[in-house]
Amino acid sequence: MSQHFTVIAEFAAPKVNFDAFLDICRFDSERSLADEEGCLAFDVLTQEDAPDIIVLHEVYTSRAAFDIHLKTPHFETFATALRDLGIEERNVRFFTRRHP
C-alpha cells in the first residue's frame, strides 16, 4: 500500500490581489507537476461559498518529496508572492494516505 503524503493548504486572498495570487498558484502547480518527480497531483481550488478562499490540494510520493518541493525556485516564487500580495495563510494540514 502506498502511503502518499498529502497537503491541503487554505489561503485568503484580498479581492484586489485575488487574480494575481491565483496566477501564482497555477504557476506553482504547473512547475511542480512538470519539474518534480515526487509530485503526483497539485490542484488549485476555489471555495464556492467563499470567493476569497483558495485551497491547494497537493499529493507527493512521500514527505521527503514535499520537502524537496519546499526548496524549488517555483516554491520560492510562491512564498515571495504570499508576502508581497498580503495573502493570509489560514490553514495548512498534512495527511498520509492509508487506503486504498
Task: In whole angstroms, give the CA distance from residue 50 to residue 87.
Answer: 15
What number of residues does the chain have? Answer: 100
Task: In whole angstroms, give the CA distance from residue 54 to residue 97.
Answer: 22
- What are the residues facing 24 on neighbouring strands? none
Structural domains in the chain, sorted by start: 5-96 (3.30.70.100)
pLDDT at 1 over 60: no
Residues of the chain above pLDDT 70, percent: 98
The string of pLDDT tens digits covering residues 58-76 is 999 999 999 999 999 999 9
pTM of the model: 0.94
Residue 22 — very low, low, confident or very high, per pLDDT cuts 50/70/90?
very high
Indicate the SS3 state at residue 48: coil
Question: What Å distances lie between residue 63 and 68, 85, 95, CA to CA?
Answer: 9, 28, 10
